[in-house]
Structure 1
Amino acid sequence: MSRWVLRLVVLSIIILIVELYAFQALKTVTKNRYIRLVWLVVSALVYINLIYVIFSTSRSVGQTLEFQYAVGFMLTILIPKGVIIAVMFGEDVFRMAAKLFSWITPGETQPIGGRREFLSKMALGLAAIPLASFLYGIIQGRYNYKVLKYQLTFDDLPAAFDGFKITQISDIHSGSFTNAKKIQYGVDLINEQESDVILFTGDIVNNVASEMTHWISMFSKLKAPMGKYSVLGNHDYGDYVDWNTQADKAANFKAIQEVHPQIGFELLMNEHRYIEKDGDRLALIGVENWGKGFNQAGDLPKASAGVDKNDFKILMTHDPSHWEYEVKQDDFHYHLTLSGHTHGLQMGIEIPGLIKWSPSKYVYKQWAGLYEELGRFINVNRGFGYHAFPGRVGVWPEVTVIELKKGKSA
C-alpha cells in the first residue's frame, strides 16, 4: 500500500469517527427526521465533492479554485464537529468510568439521559461558533484587510531616513482571486498609506504566471515615490505543478519574473539596491526563497556582496525560517527583515494585548507580526491574499506600515 493511499485511509477513518460522534449528538437533541436528513445530505455532498475534485483534477494544473472551495467546505463542517467530539468524548469517558464503578460497588445508579441531552445541546451550541466563523471567513473574512502600523527606532539609522515609511505586502496569491471590487479596495488601501517605498515579499501566484494576467493593470497602480521592490516566494517557482517538461517549468518561471516589472516592481534575486536620500543611504537586500527543508535558492552572501557592514540594512526574504536559522545571528547585522509565507495559517484567535494564537505557531517560531531578538527585527506579514483554504478566520489579510525613526533604541 502506497503512503498516499495509507494517509487517505487513515483520514477517512478519522472523518468517519467524527461524523458518527457528531450525528449521535444530533440524535440526542432532536427526533426530527428532516433535520437529521439535511445533516446527512449536506455532509455527504461535501465529501463527495471533495473526492470528485481530488480525482478529477490533473496534477499538471496545480491547486485550483475548485480544490480550495472543496477543502474550505470540508473544514467548515468538520471543525465544528470536532468541537462536538471534544465535549461528548469527555461524557463517554465519564459514563464508562461510572459503569465500571457500578460493577465494583453495586448500588443504585443515577439516570444519565438528561445529562446526555444537556451536553449534546451544549456541544451543538459551541459548534455553531466555528461554523459561523468559517462561513464568515469564506464570505467576507478573506477581504477584511487590516493596516498594522509599527514605529521602530535605531540609533544607527542614517539621519535623512528619520521618518522613512515602508509599506510591506506579501503573498498576493493572485490565482485565488475572484472578486475584483474587493481586491481593488485592498490596492487602494495600500496607496492610502502614502509610504516612501512598497516592498512585496513573495508569492505573487499560486502556480502559474497567467494567474496574474487579469490583475496586472490593477496592481500597476500601486504608488511609492522612492520605489517598489519585490522578491520571490516558494509558489513562484512552479514547484507545485506537474509540468510536462522542464522547459515548460523554466518558461513559466521566466514569465513570473517578467510580471514584476509589469506592475512596476523591481525584482531582487539575490541582489541589493541602495536607496539614497539627502546624501545618506540604506541597503535594501532581496534574496530568493529560502525555506527550512525545501527550496533554498536564497543566497544571502551573494545578495549582500558589496554592501558595507556598517550600512543600515533591510532584508527581504519570503520565509521567516530563513531569519530564524541563518539571518538573525549573522555578524553582518541585518537590522530589519521582512517576510511573509505563513499566512498565520489564515485561522486563529488574535485579540490585541490579550491573545495571539494560531496553529501556525507550532510550525514557525515567528509566524505573524513583529519580533525582536539580538537587536534585530523581523516582521512576518500575514499576507494580502489567501491560499488552500478560501477564507480567513481571525487572522486577517494585512498591509504593514513600518516607520523608521532615528534615536536611542529602547
Structure 2
Amino acid sequence: MQPLTSDKADPPVDTSSETSKLRTSQQRVSRRRFLKSMIGSIVAAPFLMGAYSRWVEPKWIRSRELTIATQRLPQAFQGMRIAHLSDLHFGDHTSEQEVDSLISRVMKARPDMICFTGDLVEDHKVSGKAIIPYLKKLRAPFGQYAVLGNHDYRRGTDLATEVLTEAGIDVLTNKARILSHIGSSMAIAGIDDALDGTPEMGNALASVPDEMWTLLLAHEPDWADYTVSSHVDMQLSGHSHGGQIRAPFYGPIFLPEMGKRYPDGVYTLPREHDHPLMVHTSRGLGTTLLPLRLFCPPEWTMITLQSEM
C-alpha cells in the first residue's frame, strides 16, 4: 500500500520576530552592563584617584633637565650644572631610605654645584639628624649651599641649621660666597626666610660687586619682586610645591603666601635698562599639610647655565 503523500510544502517558519526579540534582549543586557560599568567607574574613580594621589604620585620623583640662558655669565662658568633641590619635608611621609635613594640619583648626575632652597624638615617632632649621613654624600666641585624655609622655622631653625652644617652644606643666611674659576668670579648668596625669618638683601649682597654675576637662593619665589630691584642675575626658590594638587586646564588649586606669582618653572622678570632676572621655582620633593600630589609630581632639577649674548 502506497503511503499517503501531499504535493503541498510545509509552510515556512517565520523567525524574524524571534530574532528581533533576541537582539532586543541582547541590546538590553548590553545597555545594562554598560550602565553598570559606567556607574561602577564613577563610584570607583574618587577612590582610585585618592589612592593614586596618596601612594603613587608623591613617590614618583622626577628629574627635570633645564637649560637657562642668562646675560653676564662669565665664559669660565658656561655650561655649569646646578642641582636644585627644595622642600624635602623630612618627617612622617618621607623616609630615610627615600632620602638616600634621592641623593644617590643626584650624585649620579655629577652636578657642579648643589643648591637646596629650604624646608628640610616637616613641622612634626622628627629628628632631622637621622638624615645627616645621607646629606653628607651631597658633594660638588663648586660647593653645596642651602637656605632655610618657613617650616624649618616652625620646627626650629637651630635643628635645620645644625643638620645642614654638620652635613657639610653651607647655610647662606643673609650672606654670600664668591667663587673663582679660570680667572673669573661669580657669587652665590642666600637670604633668610621671608615669612618667618628676617631677610636682609643689603647684608646678603654686601660683599658682592654690582658687576659680578650673582645667584640668589630664596625660599619663597615671590621674593623675586624684591630681587628684581638688585643686581642679582638668577634666583632659585621652592616653597610653592607647584600647588601640590593641580586641576587639568586650571592649574594649582591652592598656593601658599609668597608662592602665588611664580609657583612653578622658569620666569623672566624684565628690568628697565638692565639685564633681566631669571627665576626658577622647584615643585619640591615632599608634601605638607596633606600628603597628596595630583598632576604635580615631585622633582629635583638639573639646571645648565648658558651665556645669553
Q: 1:137 aligns to what?
A: 53
TM-score normalised per structure 2: 0.79
Q: How many residues align?
A: 269
Please tell me whether the aligned partners of residues 82 and 304 of structure 2 are also in contact (alpha carbons under 8 angstroms): yes
Which amino acid is 1:139 matched to? Answer: W
Per the TM alignment, residue 404 of structure 1 is displaced from its structure 2 partner at its CA by: 0.7
- Structure 1 runs not aligned, ≥5 long: 1-117, 240-251
Which amino acid is 1:359 matched to? Answer: I
Q: Which has the higher contact order (CA 8 A, sep 6+)?
A: 2
**Distance change in 2, residues 1:271/1:145 (3 Å):** same
Name the larger-Rg structure.
2
**Distance in 2 (alpha carbons) for counterparts of 1:323 and 1:123:** 48
**Distance in 1 (alpha carbons) for counterparts of 2:118 and 2:39:** 41
- Which piece of structure 1 moves more, 252-261 or 189-198? 252-261
**Distance change in 2, residues 1:253/1:313 (3 Å):** same
User: Which of 224, 227, 243 pairs up with 1:327?
Assistant: 227
Q: 2:7 aligns to what?
A: none
Please tell me whether the aligned partners of residues 244 and 296 of structure 2 are also in contact (alpha carbons under 8 angstroms): yes
Which amino acid is 1:327 matched to? Answer: T
Q: 2:244 aligns to what?
A: 346
Q: Residues 363-392 of structure 1, C-alpha deviation per residue, up to 9 Å, x if partnerless?
A: 601111111120211111111122221232
Q: 1:88 aligns to what?
A: none
Per the TM alignment, residue 356 of structure 1 is displaced from its structure 2 partner at its CA by: 7.2
Which amino acid is 2:267 matched to? Answer: Y
Which amino acid is 2:246 matched to? Answer: G
- Structure 2 runs not aligned, ≥5 long: 1-33, 271-275
Q: Is 1:365 equivalent to 2:261 in the alignment? A: yes
User: Which of 104, 124, 136 pairs up with 1:188?
Assistant: 104
The sequence identity of aligned pairs, in percent, is 27
Q: Residues 251-288 of structure 1, C-alpha deviation per residue, up to 9 Å, x if partnerless?
A: x4323311112222000110000121111111101000
Answer 1 or 2: which has greater strand percent: 2
Answer 1 or 2: which has greater helix percent: 1
Please tell me whether the aligned partners of residues 54 and 293 of structure 2 are also in contact (alpha carbons under 8 angstroms): yes
Please tell me whether the aligned partners of residues 349 and 395 of structure 1 are also in contact (alpha carbons under 8 angstroms): no
**Distance in 1 (alpha carbons) for counterparts of 2:95 and 2:253:** 28
**Distance in 2 (alpha carbons) for counterparts of 1:367 and 1:155:** 23
**Distance change in 2, residues 1:215/1:296 (3 Å):** closer
**Distance in 2 (alpha carbons) for counterparts of 1:127 and 1:282:** 57
Alignment of 1:2-401 (within 5 A): 125-126=41-42, 128-207=44-123, 210-238=126-154, 252-291=156-195, 295-324=196-225, 326-328=226-228, 330=229, 332-349=230-247, 357-360=251-254, 364-374=260-270, 375-401=276-302
Per the TM alignment, residue 168 of structure 1 is displaced from its structure 2 partner at its CA by: 0.5
Which amino acid is 1:140 matched to? Answer: V
**Distance change in 2, residues 1:183/1:256 (3 Å):** closer
**Distance in 1 (alpha carbons) for counterparts of 2:278 and 2:45:** 36
TM-score normalised per structure 1: 0.61
